[in-house]
Amino acid sequence: MTRISVEHLSIDFPLYHGESRSLKKTVFAAASGRRLGQDGRKRLVVQAVRDVDFELHSGDRLGLIGANGAGKSTLLRTLAGIYEPSGGRITIEGALSALLDASQGMNPDLTGRENIRLRGLFSGLNPKQIEQLELDVAQFAELDDFINLPVRIYSSGMVVRLGFALATAIRPQILLMDEWILAGDAAFMGRARARLESMVQGAEILVLSTHAPDVVMQWCNRVIWLEGGRVRGDGTPHEILQQYLPSDQFAQASMALAARTKREADGMANQQAA
Amino acid sequence: MDTQVVNSGSTDSRAVAPRSEADSSAGTDLIPNGSGQQADMPALIRPDSRLVIVAGLGMMGRLRLALTDLADTWRLRRLVATLAFLDIRLRYRGSLLGPFWLTLSTGLMVGALGFVYSHLFHTKLHTYLPFLSLSLVLWNFINALVTDGCLAYTSNEAMIRAARMPLSLHAARSVARNVLVLGHNILVIVVVFTIMNVWPGRVALMMLPAFALWMIDGLAISILLGGFCARFRDVPPIVASVMQIAFFVSPIIWSPEILAHRGIGIVLLNWNPFYALLEIVRAPLLNQMPTLATWGSALGYSGALVLVTAVFFTRARSRIAFWI
């Protein structure tokens, strides 16, 4: 059973800058008796996420919205298990894959093929499966001959396609995505959507963090609105977006969605024709 | 082909029992879907997993997570080896001699220092050069292990922030990379030993347990310094200068026998962790048996290092992602 459960989740993000980065300064502050203990406690932290609760089940497609710095990306990284929370509890049941930034932890100096191989090894595949993975990713990302060239020289669209293909080629049950996926071209977006839809139909979970309201309307069936690290609203995209957006922008987003859907359908059709 | 059919087919084939820990090792659970599948449907399926992260664990809970981290790195050892191999290949991509540039430069250094210092110390080249080549190659390894270990986490920021993976993996990668470099440099020792026609006897096998100890120490120091350098950005230059001083005060280019009867030798030899650790590998290869006292202090220093690292890693493991 695929499930995400988040209980009273809080994340303090420590800010290190200037002097607190320096061992010399820290040691000298201690030696000269300048209240190190207090320094330690006075460490500057951003309360990135505060007391967030939610539970997701199979088939849920959650959109996280909120202003810059509302804690969307931090929450995604915490769900991915990268940041460990300072309060609360997370339970993830199901194989998880995260697309948090376009480069996906790829080494830009290595070729596409080498990066795919590393991902295969990370996922515990055997050599035959890694071959399969290479085929699958190269085909979906349409890299052609670029697969043997360093990722550094790829166009940003190609990096996005490769990242998306890598994150979904070994089929996850839970997919976490940040909004960079929007950098893909229309035809690719159509195919990405088809792949995600087939994935979510197979009773899997999607969590998407974005600024774009039309993307939320298109992809999600539930929305959580974060503000200052807390949940401001939780409900269907229609309900929450109506509160979140000024009314004229809400209408605009609906129109943008219609246009985007058409563009992607056209893109797909063109590609199939070609 | 109908998407729906492929979809339900691949869903059925995922009949995997839930696991208690994240990402199991068994690649056999991932079932390729045959060749006739549609481009939009991924063919490989991730095995089921379960991950529970709870804040505010006690020391025992954190220790368990730290040990899980190490166990995960062991499970991913093929990834560690591949990363280390690619690191080397990347560093020398496009160069004519590849990693053997290192061998060549080490060889030149051994040759140059050998001639100068054998005159300075009034020793015979025949005995001094094997000693020097061995010392320099081993010291270069130790030095690279320590200075690379400092960057274990900060140089892998992108990887650490992209997915959950064991943190000790980055330390292990740094160790593995430097073992590969050492492998290339061994050629210098072999060439010098051949020219001088000096070969150690069976006592040389005593370097095997010593080298195993080095591997443990190397991993420990990389985990420790990697974390420390991620938190305090001025540590790498401090470490570099400590290593430079250690190079001159330890018997690397000068033989320990020079100091055997002088008072200062007690400080430089008996209280020098680098000397004890170097000697347990070097002495057997020079056909000498390291003394029990040397082994004792090597084990003592290593034990202390591992203990400090264990405490540090248990406490700080979950913080490292925030530090980088």
Q: Edge to edge, what strands does the sheet with A96-99 contain? A: A96-99, A174-177, A205-209, A61-65, A222-227, A230-235
> Model confidence over B16-42: pLDDT tens digits?
333 333 333 333 333 333 333 444 555
End-to-end CA distance of chain B: 47
d(CA B156, CA B100): 26
Partner residue facing A169 (CB), from B44, B159, B322: B44
B17 touches chain A (CB under 8 A): no
Q: Calculate how close chain A gets to B61, using CA atoms only, in Å.
A: 14
In a domain? residue A206 = yes
Task: Determine the pLDDT at residue A202.
Answer: 67
More confident residue, B317 or B92: B317
Answer whether B55 sits within 8 Å of A121, measured CB to CB.
no
**Which residue on chain B is closest to A190 by alpha carbon?**
B40
In a domain? residue A188 = yes
Residues of chain B in contact with residue A45, where contact means CB-CB under 8 angstroms, are none
**Total structural domains in chain A?**
1
Q: A207 falls in which pLDDT band (50, 70, 90)? A: very high
Partner residue facing A24 (CB), from B56, B75, B234: B234
- The secondary element (H helix, E strand) that includes residue A233 is strand A230-235
φ and ψ of A44, to 5 deg: -75, 120
In a domain? residue A105 = no
Residues of chain B in contact with residue A26, where contact means CB-CB under 8 angstroms, are 232
Q: B132 falls in which pLDDT band (50, 70, 90)? A: very high
In a domain? residue A193 = yes
What the block records as the tokens of B281 is 């590998």
B105 touches chain A (CB under 8 A): no
In a domain? residue A32 = yes
> Model confidence over A33-90: pLDDT tens digits?
544 444 445 567 788 888 999 999 988 989 999 888 888 889 999 999 999 998 899 9
Answer whether A89 sits within 8 Å of B162, measured CB to CB.
no
**Domain CATH for A9:** 3.40.50.300
pLDDT at B305 over 90: yes
Task: Residue A211: give the domain boundaries.
Answer: 3-95+172-273
Residues of chain A in contact with residue B170, where contact means CB-CB under 8 angstroms, are none
Task: Determine the pLDDT at residue B21.
Answer: 38
Number of H helices, E strands in chain A: 10, 10
Partner residue facing A168 (CB), from B24, B42, B83: B42
**Which residue on chain B is closest to A11 by alpha carbon?**
B55
Alpha helix locations (H) across B49-167?
59-75, 77-91, 100-120, 125-150, 157-160
Task: Determine the pLDDT at residue A67.
Answer: 85
Please give the full DSSP string across A185-216, using - where no structure is assigned: -HHHHHHHHHHHHHHHHTT-EEEEE-S-HHHH
**Which residue on chain B is closest to A82 by alpha carbon?**
B164
> Model confidence over B265-299: pLDDT tens digits?
677 777 889 999 999 999 999 989 999 999 999 99
Answer whether B79 sits within 8 Å of A121, measured CB to CB.
yes
Q: Which of B4, B19, B30 to mutate to test the interface with A (most CBs of A within 10 A)?
A: B30
Answer whether B44 sits within 8 Å of A125, measured CB to CB.
yes
In a domain? residue A120 = no
Q: Work out the average pLDDT over A92-109.
A: 86
Please state the pTM of the whole predicted model.
Answer: 0.84
Q: Do B49 and A95 form a contact (C-beta atoms < 8 A)?
A: yes
Chain B segment 242-301 residues within 8 A of A by beta carbon are none
CB pairs under 8 A between A and B: 182
Partner residue facing B41 (CB), from A96, A172, A198: A198
ipTM of the shown complex: 0.84
In order of B138, B242, B249, B269, the CA distances from B265 in angstroms are 21, 19, 10, 6
